Structure 1
């Protein structure tokens, strides 16, 4: 009986943690989108890429985005040739 109770508590704790992580991810994504992050297609050369990266870093820093989420959010803004390039690296 004690083992079953311990297992049930552990399961509840894991489920609670999963809900907290999901809620935190949703908050970060909402905050990110509220900043109207720029899209990047890959045109404009290195100067355009640099400006886009600077804008992304500014937004990600302002919303206190966890480092492990930064690449996911930034690459979500890639379109066209840039998205193709990223998908094939």
Structure 2
């Protein structure tokens, strides 16, 4: 059970890192894709609602907050998939993801914006994810999960060594 959990955590961490790199590369190549027209408030508002409607149609899950770090990792993975498919700008990604926060997570984000004096019109998705991870998957928890994974790997390695020793002794 622990091994499966450790493998799942590692896979999710790797997928999140890969998505982050993909998003960063896409942003460098397509930074102006789907930008709302400038100088036209009505046009920008229509573009935003069109984008929001497309996003909601893809049925992204809401995030209410969780004490289980795997919940936030899985939520981000699913949201990342949708955002990559939509080819949004980094700021649009952040705004769409914030739209999916509810309950405790929504309260946390509102407080974060006020306390840190964040400008949600320039704040990017990657910056948002860094703050989200700090809140719901802090480094101490991440390091503990890595240690658990290493412990499972060590136990597995010892079991394999014991098995091989037995087989060698049986042959000899």
Specify if TM > 0.5.
yes
Question: What are the residue-to-residue correspondences of 1:8-87 with 2, within 5 Å?
Answer: 14=39, 17-87=40-110
Unaligned runs of 5+ in 1: 1-13
Secondary structure of 2:87's counterpart equals: coil
Secondary structure of 1:70's counterpart equals: helix
RMSD of aligned C-alpha atoms? Answer: 1.6
Q: Which has the higher contact order (CA 8 A, sep 6+)?
A: 1
Q: 1:19-50: per-residue Cα shift (whole Å, max 9, x none)?
A: 43233212211110100010011125111001
* In 2, Cα distance between equivalents of 1:50 and 1:19: 36
Q: 1:64-88: per-residue Cα shift (whole Å, max 9, x none)?
A: 1222211111011111111111111
Superposition TM-score, scaled by structure 2 size: 0.40
Report the count of equivalent residues.
74
Larger Rg: 2
Unaligned runs of 5+ in 2: 1-38, 113-172
Once superposed, which parts of structure 1, at least 4 consecutive aligned residues long, lie more than 3 Å away?
A: 17-20
Superposition TM-score, scaled by structure 1 size: 0.72
